[in-house]
Amino acid sequence: MRGAAAELGACRRGAFSVNCSPMNLRHLARLAGLSPSAVSLALRGSPKIAEATRQRVRQLAEKNGYRPDAKVVAMMTHLRKPPAAREQACFGVISFYNNPRPWETSRHHSAVYEGMRRRAGELGYRLEPVWLRAPGMTYRRVRGILDARGIEGLICFGSPELEQEFPQELGHYAIVTIGLSIRTPLHRVTSHFFNDTVNVLDRIHALGYRRPGLVLGRYEEARSGHAHTSAYLGWCEHRLGSGRALPVHLIDQVEEKPLLAWLEAQRPDVLIFVHLYDQLAELRAVLRRLRIRVPAELGVAALSQILEGSGFSGLQQNQPLMGAWAVELLAARITNRDLGIPANPRIEMVESRWIENRSLRSSSQVNS
């Protein structure tokens, strides 16, 4: 116990050159001279722990700034329920798509849903799809269905239309949405579009590319909150110097003549392509028709929902993690009774993962 107290004192005085870990249950248990399970019971006011000990543990927690992790509390609260109660607990899964189950027709949504389903199962929840746009369905009827099933939390897959407002009739539940398409301020999980663009730029710069050009789908630019252009222009200003950024080539879909005109006018040595995954095959076909050798004559790095099998190196969104985080965030909101449209919404951003193919020069080529 004295060792734990000395360590905490040194941390407070800044005696360590590294950042001290935040106070957690194990640290608190060491200070109290108890097991972590005993400290947990004391903090929950369990009669299994003597009142004097409960009071001492609470005082230590307050003095040392211990705060429980809301996600862990949500998980443990749910897992302590009787098995029958856990089997009945579920989250509603909704969206504003015309398809009742958009994850069955989209590889991107399918990967998000699988991450949700797996994490929900680990926490003892099940997912209950509810189609908002079913024929004859109204938001009032949806609310009745949700209340009848005892659903307190909703995960929203978003909307194909930007600036979608969340219906007031459903505003009293705990709500987490995926992406940025819902305009209403909600708790949400989304890709970290800005960091992804910067990460790609840093990678290609390390490979020796010095004239990056950005080809960007208009739909993707809007859905990212203009993060891609912001990151590209800011990075070029900082790393390459004032006026070195090339004009961004905004497109709806890949078209040969406009792309060729832009390439000839701007002469990039590497292309950063940000678009829906169904446009990747068309980009490859256009480059072949133009007889542009990749990566010998032009490097290509792509940012998209799905890159596996495309032949392009780049960043693929981490959909399973997005789905898992959405479930964890919703479980925490329910535990904290954070229901309704939040005054201060939380946003959790997930960085994409690198997919290595052969559309960029290799590091060995740079070093040779």
Q: Looking at residue 20, which CATH number applies to its domain? A: 1.10.260.40
Output the pLDDT for position 48. 82
**Total structural domains within the chain:** 3
Residues 178 and 290 in one domain: no
**One domain, residues 181 and 229:** no
Look at the alpha carbons of 29, 30, 31, 33 in this order and tell me if their dihedral is positive or negative.
Answer: positive
pLDDT of residue 47: 77
Residue 256: per-residue pLDDT: 97
Structure confidence at residue 1 (pLDDT): 47
Provide the domain limits for residue 329.
84-190+320-350
Residues 274, 261 share a domain: yes
Look at residue 258 in the predicted model and tell me its pLDDT.
97
pLDDT of residue 40: 84
Residue 178 placed within a domain: yes
**pTM assigned to the model:** 0.75
Q: Are residues 324 and 260 in the same domain?
A: no
The whole-angstrom separation of Cα 209 and Cα 366 is 10
Q: What share of the chain is helix, strand, coil (3-state, %, to 5)?
A: 45, 15, 40
Examine the domain organization and report whether 214 and 276 are in the same domain.
yes
Shared domain check, 198 and 108: no
150: left (phi over 0), alpha (psi -120 to 50) or beta: left
In sequence order, what are the beta bridge partners of 128? 92
Q: Within this chain, do residues 169 and 267 fall inside the same structural domain, yes or no? A: no
Q: Do 141 and 160 lie in a common domain?
A: yes
Q: Does a structural domain hold residue 78?
A: no
The answer to whether position 76 is within a domain reads no
Residue 73, in any domain of the structure: no
Take residue 21 and report the two structure tokens written for it.
């870990």
Domain boundary among 42, 68, 94: 68
Q: What is the mean pLDDT of each run of 10 residues along the chain (368 residues)?
A: 47 42 78 88 83 90 77 57 59 93 94 96 92 92 92 94 92 96 96 98 97 97 95 97 96 97 98 96 97 97 95 97 97 92 96 96 72
* pLDDT at site 130: 93
Is 74 part of a structural domain of the chain?
A: no
Is residue 205 domain-shared with residue 308, that is, in the same domain?
Answer: yes
Question: Is position 116 within any domain?
Answer: yes
- End-of-domain residue from the set 15, 36, 68: 68
Does residue 75 sit within a domain? no
Beta strands in 49-135 (DSSP E): 90-94, 126-129
CATH code: domain of residue 115: 3.40.50.2300
Determine the pLDDT at residue 332: 93
- Amino acid identity, residue 367? N
Examine residue 56 and state whether it is found in any structural domain, yes or no.
yes
